[in-house]
Amino acid sequence: MKEFQPISVRGAIGTYRGAFTAIFVISAFVNLLMLTGPIFMLQVYDRVLASNSVPTLLGLAGIALMLYFVGGLLDILRLRALTRIAMRVYSRLSGPAFRANMKMPLIAGRRAAGVSPYRDVEAIRRFLGSPGPAAICDLPFMPAYFLIIFVFHPWLGMLAVAGGIFIACLVVTNEFLSRKPSKNLSESSGLQSTLISSTRRNADVITAMGMGDSLSNRYSGAVEQHYQRQQAVSDHSNLFSSVIKMLRLMLQSAMLGLGAYLVIQQEVTAGVMIAASIIMARALAPIEQAVSHWPSFVASRQAAGRLDETFKACAEAGDTAGLPMPKSTLRVEGLATAAPGEQDLFLQGVDFELNAGDGLGVVGPSGSGKSSLARALVGIWPSLAGSVRLDGATLDQWSLTERGRFIGYLPQDVELFEGTVAENICRFAAEPDIEAILQAAEAASIHHMIAGLPEGYQTQIGEAGTLLSAGQRQRLGLARALYGNPFLLVLDEPNSNLDTVGERALTDAMNAARARGGIVIVIAHRPSALAAVNKTLMIQNGAQVQFGDRDEMLRKVVPAQRSTAQHRSKIDAV
């Protein structure tokens, strides 16, 4: 099983190859029926006017009307089919894009700020559902129109081919000149999205500290930059679109003028003159339509390239199928880690082993690397050296979903999701275990608190749990970490927002986890968090300093800290 199945944009679109073939066949009939107008004009000028036959005119008009109707229906069918294909491709890519969106920050770190797989999928959907693909399907039929004009007269055909070649050169030029502006536009759009999401996520901090005006000015600057890039892309597209439209009209008039000359020379009929002009306009129309949709096409192509790179970066090596859940040991061997996408080590030289039922308290000054260790232990940050092994197997030998069955994690900043209390506790499982939810709530000692909410476990907590206090969010996060009785429980500053009752409940939960054979690791600044552990690890300056029995280490560390404090007070007195 792979967490990210190998997928590519080309593969997703290629799944509907048969549908695109059908659209191409429909396009062939649409282009054939587009000859209805020129042929009708040809017959009117050369047959009806020559014979003064009203019945002939009525018969030709009836046939033309029927063909126009059929052509219109086929064109509607083609556009409807493209819309449905676009939604199918969107549906096929949206799941992998959503998962990649979650994983990219853990792979590229801060460099993932401008990467938005979901926005790229939307760009592909917009193009596939637009008339742009239909115009592209019409392009291969241009030579057929030129051939018909050649049949009318070689001079007319040469004029049509020369005009088509010149316009094609403009299209190629437009392609090369539009790449960089379109890429810049996509980047500025990503910056805007990142700023919007971050300000929404931190609205309380922004409001409390009066940062709204500053961030609003920053956003205005981003909008101005995006506006300038959007204007550059639009001006570029409009320039080529207008030039090609002007050339098409000029060529149509030139075809009419050359046809008139040939009529005067009695080399073609007046009907041929009119028909050639109309066919010329129809032959060049797909180019004009394609150019008008060119920015969307370029954005879609660039989005497809980014998506393929993102999917490739997020693809995981195959895990070991059938690997049992760990239940005995945690072994950390020479671990070194850094933030995703970075090479500067935040932590190195960590080496310890814990057995089932052990509890480890990780202590040290702020910024020493304690949270970095917690992230590495649960697989959020990469192991740049050494390894984290559970029962001898490294974390990457399980899929992310399987890891979730034996890992519980409570970060410093508890992030809850919009939904019910029960959904947040069970980690939004598709088939939640009600008994396991109640058990986790009881273990975190929040069952009575939840029962007192307006709708109990079905209470909606709002975006990021805004309807709960900081302490309630932390205890709800603890219940989420305890859901399913995980073997490895990692708690990062779990008592930072807890009162005395909450700290007692935390200690009871940690003791219960150890009693059932789990391993508990707690990052702590306050000594009360160490009441439920039997071992202690000290980290300073991004490196392991000591590891051993809790009581023995505290006997060594506390006197040393007191001695240091007394020494400092003497210096201050002097």
pLDDT > 70? residue 390: yes
Q: What is the mean pLDDT of residues 170-193?
A: 75
According to the model, what pLDDT value does residue 360 have? 93
* Cα–Cα dist 195/380, whole Å: 24
Q: What is the mean pLDDT of residues 476-488?
A: 92
Q: What is the mean pLDDT of residues 262-281?
A: 88
And the tokens for 196?
């919007």
Q: What is the mean pLDDT of residues 81-103?
A: 87
Number of alpha carbons in the 13 Å side-chain half-sphere of residue 374: 25
According to the model, what pLDDT value does residue 572 have? 42
Q: Which residue reads 């945690």 in tokens? A: 330
Nearest to 222 by CA among 253, 197, 187, 198: 187
Give pLDDT tens digits for 126-171. 899 888 888 888 888 888 888 999 998 999 989 988 888 888 788 7
* Cα–Cα dist 249/281, whole Å: 8
* Cα–Cα dist 322/307, whole Å: 31
According to the model, what pLDDT value does residue 199 have? 76
* Cα–Cα dist 379/332, whole Å: 12
The answer to whether the CB of 312 falls within 8 A of the CB of 100 is no
The answer to whether the CB of 326 falls within 8 A of the CB of 391 is yes
210 burial (CB, 10 Å; 0-12 / 13-18 / 19+) is: exposed
Q: What are the domain boundaries of the chain?
A: 9-314, 329-573
According to the model, what pLDDT value does residue 74 have? 93
Kindly report the number of other CB atoms within 10 A of residue 53's CB atom: 13
Q: What is the mean pLDDT of residues 321-325?
A: 75
According to the model, what pLDDT value does residue 114 have? 61
* Cα–Cα dist 482/417, whole Å: 17
The answer to whether the CB of 412 falls within 8 A of the CB of 371 is yes
Percent of the chain with pLDDT over 70: 90
Q: What is the mean pLDDT of residues 390-397?
A: 90
Q: Which residues on adjacent β-strands are paired with residue 394?
A: 389
pLDDT > 60? residue 119: yes
Percent of the chain with pLDDT over 90: 23
According to the model, what pLDDT value does residue 574 have? 35
According to the model, what pLDDT value does residue 373 have? 92
- Rounded mean pLDDT of the chain? 83
Choose the weakest-confidence range: 11-25, 202-216, 239-253: 202-216
Nearest to 487 by CA among 518, 515, 513, 514: 518
Find the distance separating the first CA and the last CA of the chain, reported in whole Å. 68
The answer to whether the CB of 356 falls within 8 A of the CB of 374 is no
Q: What is the mean pLDDT of residues 341-359?
A: 89
Q: What is the mean pLDDT of residues 514-534?
A: 86
And the tokens for 121?
């999928």
The answer to whether the CB of 8 falls within 8 A of the CB of 405 is no
- Cite the DSSP H helix spans in 109-140: 117-128, 132-138
Q: Phi/psi at 376 (nearest 5 deg)? A: -70, -35
Q: Which residue reads 């587009």 in tokens? A: 34
Nearest to 298 by CA among 189, 188, 178: 178
Q: Which residues on adjacent β-strands are paired with residue 521?
A: 360, 490
Q: Phi/psi at 139 (nearest 5 deg)? A: -60, -40
The CATH architecture of the domain made up of 9-314 is Up-down Bundle (1.20)
Give pLDDT tens digits for 159-170. 988 888 888 788
* Cα–Cα dist 234/500, whole Å: 62
pLDDT > 50? residue 325: yes
Q: Which residues on adjacent β-strands are paired with residue 547?
A: 537
Kindly report the number of other CB atoms within 10 A of residue 60's CB atom: 17
59, 62, 66, 69: CA torsion to nearest 10: 150
Nearest to 187 by CA among 94, 303, 93, 97: 303
Nearest to 239 by CA among 178, 300, 169, 162: 178
286, 287, 290, 292: CA torsion to nearest 10: -110
And the tokens for 233?
């892309």
Band (333; pLDDT cuts 50, 70, 90):
very high
Question: Buried b / exposed e across 366-385, counting CB within 10 Å, b at 16+?
Answer: eebbbbbbbbbbbbbbbbbe
According to the model, what pLDDT value does residue 223 have? 80
224 or 569: which carries more pLDDT confidence?
A: 224
Choose the weakest-confidence range: 16-20, 89-93, 196-200, 423-427: 196-200
What topology is assigned to 329-573 in CATH?
Answer: Rossmann fold (3.40.50)
pLDDT > 60? residue 563: no
The answer to whether the CB of 348 falls within 8 A of the CB of 155 is no
Give pLDDT tens digits for 237-264. 778 778 888 888 888 889 889 989 998 9
* Cα–Cα dist 482/179, whole Å: 51
The answer to whether the CB of 138 falls within 8 A of the CB of 153 is no
